[in-house]
Structure 1
Amino acid sequence: MHALVVGGNGFIGSHLVDGLLARGQQVTILDIQERRWDAMPAAARFIRGDIGDPYLIREALIGVDVVYHLAWTTIHEIANRDPAADVQSNLAPAIRLIEACQGASNPRLVFISSGGTVYGPARQLPIPETHPRNPINAYGVSKLAVEKYLQMYNHISGLDYAVLRPSVPYGPRQNPLGRQGAINVFLHRVAHGLPVTIWGDGSVSRDFFYISDLVDALIACGEQPLGEERTFNIGGREEISLNRALVVVQRTVGRTAIIDSQPARRFDAPRIVLDTTLARQTLNWQPRVDFEEGVARTWDWIRATFP
């Protein structure tokens, strides 16, 4: 099998590439940047460029069986500041990629959506895939729009696709110096005696899960036959508040956090815990790494990379 990983040098993409190569698959990476934290695998073909380049996309799709679309240029906060730019830099290129796939050999297109944003405030917990989709930030609106385009093209022309709605993955190679990825940011800042920002009272909760569990789900979506069910929640084993996550981080690092308390953000849904029953039944998937173990593995990487 030949896989094209769009955004294959980022946090999720680099782990997916490693997982695909370990399974003996042929891998092409399309990304605007090289790997940041480790060396590019020699076995992977790397095409440097933008998903918005139609000629590059057509070249990258030659002989491909499955496309993983992981590239996204914004986070929640940035998307809210300029929704029009978010549409231009993310939604429009995704539509062009969908159209290019139809012009190629109709590979399966696996899209990473966002279980943390497309649903909006939870009406029930855990949240099933059938829960109303009412995103409260621009990031979630754009992700949901891509889902709708995939469904439309499937109906019109038989596009083969799958959608993953992950909760909050974390692990090695996620930038701990940025504004996204609470676990990695917490670990780095606690270790270096820097203030940790807590928005609101810290009760905001998610089902955090380790990156290897997301890779397993992505590969399953790319390899397994699918019927009518093509959208899957992916998350962790339990609901974890930011307060509890910080307790585990402090225990792992062996230092006490300096807390920077800030007002709650209106675009953060208070609680997101996903029902992953459909993925368990259809993809034979389940999360394998518990939270404490995942934090410990991530800490090992951070202290080796950012001494």
Structure 2
Amino acid sequence: MTEETLPIIDLKDFIKKDSSQADRNLVANDISVACKEHGFFYIKGHGIEQELIDRLDSLSRVFFKLPQEVKMELKMESGGRAWRGFFPLGGELTSNMPDWKEGLYLGTELQDDHPDVQKELPMHGKNLFFSSEQREKELGIEGFRSTILQYIEAVTNLGHVVMEAIAISLGLAPDYFSSKYTKDPLILFRIFNYPSQPIPEGLDVQWGVGEHTDYGMLTILSQDDIGGLQVCSQKNGQRVWIQAPPIKGTFVCNIGDMLDRMTGGLYRSTPHRVKLNTSGRDRISFPLFFDPNFCSFVKPIDNLPKVENQDDSNTRWDHANVHMFTGTYGEYLLNKVGKVFPQLKTINQF
């Protein structure tokens, strides 16, 4: 580990109504440096109320304290092709090893008559929620559904803002990504709980989440005060791990494989991991993945600086070369998540 820290970028001068182009360019330049050096950065001045984050945190803690059989009413096997729902401890794999976390998989709420649902696109559809507001009230999580959907909407809007800043940081038109990939983004949202408790004998767990890169374009993470996120940076040709501790009022942002692909490795998707939680308290985190449209073909951006050794597949957990795959983003994503939940890949026949 190193004492190096990740940059904190203030979006206030980018999003305020009377911001000048010079102010916006300064923020974009800070993002450019962060993406080239780390692939990770904090953002503050983002405009999302702390009350919403705190409300979701409180309700999520109550949810994870519910009996296992109650949480399993929302089991992922019931989510079908939408790939939504609850998974228990050890139910997700990273780098072919079980993670010591449980979670609730969610996304953009789409009704059965939505065109993408009608086309049976994987990862599109309804979220799995409890049957009614009355049922939520009985379980002590009144407002859980509405709070989740409010949070997804707010952070999705923030994702559009950050991607606009990233476009400017690359010398592109502000609407470059929205016009090509994210007018209708694929939004995947997770609520994770990392319990502080002994791991059952016989379950080979070493991390809360093992080393990996994110698959899509941009991840926006809210984490509680316990921490545990670690980021792998390159320093003088050596891999160095940096702590990414919680900072009140900020989100942690990182770029994913598709932005790495688009920029030819200029902005790299950075490996990261979450250490086992030994704090004595449960750790809660909220990653939202702001990804290209499921059906889009992700292509390199023209006229960016050439990067040598853009193929870093030898250092990736699955040895994949993000610059060489063919097909849609959805095909890339399904291949990845099929390794995370192999049993669901079989059930859903993706």
Give the shorter-chain TM-score range: under 0.3
- TM-score by structure 2 length? 0.25
Larger Rg: 2
- TM-score by structure 1 length? 0.27
Question: Comparing both chains, which one has the higher relative contact order based on Cα–Cα distances under 8 Å and sequence gaps of 6 or more?
Answer: 2
